[in-house]
Amino acid sequence: MMDPGNDKQAMRKTIAGRLAALTPEARAAHDASLCKQAESLEELENPRLVMGYMPLPDEINLTPFLRKLLARGILLALPRTDRECNRITAHLVDGIDGCLQSGAYCILEPAPASPQVEIEQINAVLVPGRAFSPKGYRLGRGGGYYDRFLAECPALRIAFCYEEQVVAHLPIADHDLPVDILVTPERVLRNHNSSL
């Protein structure tokens, strides 16, 4: 039997290859389509507080959508990574441009003085991932930060990805939680077995 950790590493490598094959123009078109999908999701019409994330260069760029949330008066939190405790915490931001600093793994994040949000206050979490199954299971980068956070956070979990990141099956463990909604440029999949 193959080690599940090896399966996950192999899947990450496969997905990295698929993403690398996308042209900058294709990525930009997919990102624009995903931002429009985000704007049309009824679950994101009137949340009080959304937790987003700032993308790494090879991730979906939802930054235009995050700016629109702020413009609509919706509270936005972004994660800060604490590598010593192996966890992320949610912190309020008033803006994105010029308001963030480089944090762990070179990800833009709120300043340490940014107010921390209690997880019970969050209505929706936008969840990054390397790969997703149609049932909403996700494969992250391997640090387990979001797995630990989502296990404690009762908010609606929404992931946005390219079709190239959707795979029929993922190696999953008992602690893995599916997202409630998976959005690609071509479809919206709602997981009716999750917390919805």
Domains along the chain?
4-190 (3.40.50.10420)
Per-residue pLDDT of the chain (196 residues; tens, 9 = 90+): 344 455 888 889 999 999 999 999 999 999 999 999 999 999 999 899 999 999 988 889 999 999 999 999 999 999 998 888 889 999 999 988 878 888 877 888 899 899 999 999 999 999 999 999 999 999 887 788 888 999 999 999 999 999 999 999 888 877 788 999 999 999 999 986 544 4
What is the b/e burial string over 47-83, where b = at least 16 CB atoms within 10 angstroms of the residue's CB? bebbbbbbeeeebbbbbebbeebbeeebbbbbbbbee
Q: How far apart are CA 193 and CA 196, in angstroms?
A: 8
Which has the closest alpha carbon to 59: 105, 101, 90, 96?
105
The pTM (predicted TM-score) of the whole model is 0.90
Is the separation of the CB atoms in 53 and 78 below 8 Å?
yes
